[in-house]
Amino acid sequence: MKIGVLALQGDFAEHIAMLRRLGVQTAEVRLPEHLDDLDGLIIPGGESTTIGKLAVDFGLIEPLRAFGERHAIWGTCAGAIFLSKDVRREQPLLGLMDITVQRNAFGRQVDSFEIDLEVAALKAIDGKARPYHAVFIRAPIIETVGDGVDVLATLPDGRIVAAQQGKLLATSFHPELTNDTRFHAYFLSLIR
């Protein structure tokens, strides 16, 4: 199995390190042809406007859309924003996932925080139901999800922070910044 990480901007190196720990082949994706032999793609956290503009400049928008029609893609934080269909402002989006997102949903006062989440889907990874320690940095909230989208995790107040539509995955938080490989393993399980 070979998984690409979109390497235009943001913390792609951390995702690559996590994937290596799980023993899969990795590739940095900067050009359309880099998608050719991949089984899945991760879009990292960073700055969604920058990632979107660079994707336009490198001719990646349509190739990424076509890739996502057939393969698994997981967006973390800025990557989740880029995967969505609407953020209620002008910026390049892939529009692959039927979710609407509010950027920087926690404002300046609480721009970063960590919290334990219940993520039932992760139980399939190691058979245990332990909480998932999630890191949020200037994070978005998934405001609405379409009919074909499953909610994987919410904050205690009910706001959605992880969702799945078939082989497409969006998380508001950053599993690549923890030591816990379960979310990456879950993504690989969608491909296997």
User: What is the pairing mode between strands 112-117 and 132-137?
Assistant: antiparallel
Of the ranges 42-50, 114-122, 163-171, 178-186, which one interacts with ligand GLN (CB under 6 A)? 42-50
Under the binding rule (CB under 6 A), the answer on residue 81 touching ligand GLN is yes
Nearer to ligand GLN, 104 or 189 (CB): 104
Nearer to ligand GLN, 139 or 188 (CB): 139
Which residue from 28, 47, 118, 143 is in contact with ligand GLN, where contact means CB under 6 A? 47
Q: Is 174 a catalytic residue?
A: yes
Q: Is 33 a catalytic residue?
A: no
Of the ranges 39-47, 61-69, 153-161, 162-170, which one interacts with ligand GLN (CB under 6 A)? 39-47
Bridge partners of 43, per DSSP, are: 75
Smallest gap from Cβ 53 to ligand GLN, in A, equals 11
Report DSSP letters for 43-103, one per residue: E-SS-HHHHHHHHHHTT-HHHHHHHHHHSEEEEETHHHHHHEEE-SS-S-----EEEEEET
Q: How far apart are CA 46 and CA 25, in angstroms?
A: 23
CA-to-CA dists, residue 160 to 139, 145, 150, 157, angstroms: 12, 9, 10, 9
Cβ atoms of 40 and 191 within 8 Å: the answer is yes
Nearer to ligand GLN, 81 or 168 (CB): 81
How many residues bind ligand GLN (CB under 6 A)? The answer is 11
Nearer to ligand GLN, 40 or 45 (CB): 45
Nearest to 137 by CA among 67, 80, 92: 80
Q: Is 133 a catalytic residue?
A: no
Residue 43 — φ and ψ, nearest 5°?
-110, 120
Site track 103-132 with ligand GLN (rule: CB under 6 A), x = hit: xx----------------------------
What residue ranges bind ligand GLN (CB under 6 A)? Answer: 45-48, 77-78, 81, 103-104, 137-138
